[in-house]
Amino acid sequence: MSDADEGILYVVATPIGNLDDLSPRAARVLAEVALVAAEDTRHTARLLRHLGIAPAMLSLHEHNEAARVDQLDARLVAGEAVALVSDAGTPLISDPGFVLVRELRARGRRIVPVPGACALVAALSAAGLPTDRFLFSGFLPAKGGARRARLEALAERDETLVFYESPHRIRDTLSDLAATLGARRVVLARELTKTFETFLEGSAEALLERLAEDPDQARGEFVIMVAGAAPREAGEAAAIEADALLAALLAEGVGVKQAAAVAARTLGGAKKAWYARAQALKDGD
Q: pTM for this one?
A: 0.78
Tens-place pLDDT, residues 3-36: 446 799 999 999 999 999 999 999 999 999 999 9
101: pLDDT strictly greater than 90: yes
**Measured CA angle at 201 (ends 198, 206), to 5 deg:** 120
CB neighbour list of residue 64: distance below 8 Å, 6 or more residues apart: none
With 80 as the cut, is the pLDDT of residue 151 above it? yes
* Residue 167, C-beta contacts closer than 8 angstroms, at least 6 positions apart: 218, 219, 220, 221, 222
Stretch 231-256: mean pLDDT: 77
Contact between 67 and 57 under an 8 Å Cβ cutoff? The reply is: no
- Quote the distance between the C-alpha of residue 66 and its chain's center: 22
- Under the banding of pLDDT at 50, 70 and 90, the label for residue 232 is low
Of 164, 168, 176, nearest to 215 by C-alpha is: 168
| Helix, strand or coil, per DSSP, at residue 37 | strand
Give the pLDDT score at 234.
Answer: 52
